Chains A and B, each alone.
Chain A
């Protein structure tokens, strides 16, 4: 099979993009894309072709709101065992975080999959923080459908297409094309992007995570723009088909229903959160612990942190005055520096090597 890191091929694609003489601003919504782009220096390479790429709200931990973090903290402070992926514990809310609550005796467990959380539930009641987009939500749904004892989910799961819609609708920055996320698309397929491509008249191209995948997708977008087309195209055919993973879509639809929700840095986005259906209330931590979660007042964003602007693609991480000086991965001020899918964290990791 084709070597997806082949330098010569990369050069040829780049030359072809250059030959199109185009000026493009592309947004993507995926931490793994950002990782590939920054790690291989594609950001700089593409700039020489007139193409700017920026990460939007594509980091599940980052878009989780202060209120949601506070809710998780409130549960832990009330003696509830929390199981979560690692990044979440370090996201600050005010002067605390799940990590700090744990240091003070709270039972906060870092797990590597939802199955680890289920293993904890064998001996004690546990709340799993459901974080992630359409790629991760099916694993939560499958687990809930299995009706585990002592187990509930606080769902922070979100849908990507409504966020893209909101972002393009806001029109805060000029976006000429969308680089669609690889594995979210493995689940949802290519069809959900069609109405967006129509409504906003811009190309949407699904791409894989190898450097050549990204370059080829950029070429496909540039070509569309040059030819005045705005279609949904799929570069990542080896992992994404038009209809997506129907089994996974079914389990998401069975357990969750769309609800309006805030995303960090955004006004409320209609139908963008996966709320658990009433039918599964017995596994919904938002129902079970309603009394603990009620009436929490949302804290403001960390002082000086511009994660909201980073997540809307208004600024690059380096434009935040705290970046690399006050805010670093070992001492993060905001979630975009905490999460390995966050733009600030990725920028810091590769540019400070």
Chain B
């Protein structure tokens, strides 16, 4: 496989697939925001969510689709804890 198609696959991966890693909102300018993924930043549209600086978001195809909050993270933990209580 040549390098172009390799690069294409890697980039395609970031675009197409569901990037499940949350990024943090670094700046907001109207409907656009700068999202920080541990030092790598990307622009995202935030018109589908209510966000403020510092929030963690899930971005799909350039659009933030979900804001993560502490409660949700704790709920996930709860599912696993309940499992271990019974397992």
Contact = CB atoms under 8 A, between A and B. Distances in A.
A45 interface: no
Given A208-B20, A237-B76, A341-B16, A136 B60 contact: yes
A31 B18 CA distance: 9
Contacts of A139: 45, 48, 60-63
A1 B73 contact: yes
A88 B71 CA distance: 39
Contacts of A330: 1, 5
Number of chain B interface residues as a range: 35 or more
B65 A85 contact: no
A86 B12 contact: yes
B17 A31 contact: yes
A240 B72 CA distance: 9
A186 B48 CA distance: 12
Interface residues of A, number: 51
A329 B16 contact: no
B40 interface: no
Contacts of B47: 142, 247
B15 A112 contact: yes
A114 interface: yes
Given A238-B73, A330-B1, A341 B80 contact: no
Given A115-B62, A186-B65, A330-B5, A86 B20 contact: no
Given A138-B63, A238-B76, A330-B1, A86 B87 contact: no
A182 interface: yes
B48 A113 contact: no
A215 B67 CA distance: 24
B66 A86 contact: no
A240 B80 CA distance: 17
A235 B9 CA distance: 29
19 contacts: A2-B77, A12-B87, A31-B16, A61-B16, A113-B15, A114-B62, A135-B18, A136-B61, A183-B58, A186-B58, A238-B73, A239-B66, A240-B66, A245-B49, A245-B66, A248-B48, A248-B65, A251-B48, A329-B9
A32 interface: yes
A180 to B, nearest CB: 13
Nearest to A210: B20
B77 A187 contact: no
Contacts of B66: 183, 186, 239-240, 245
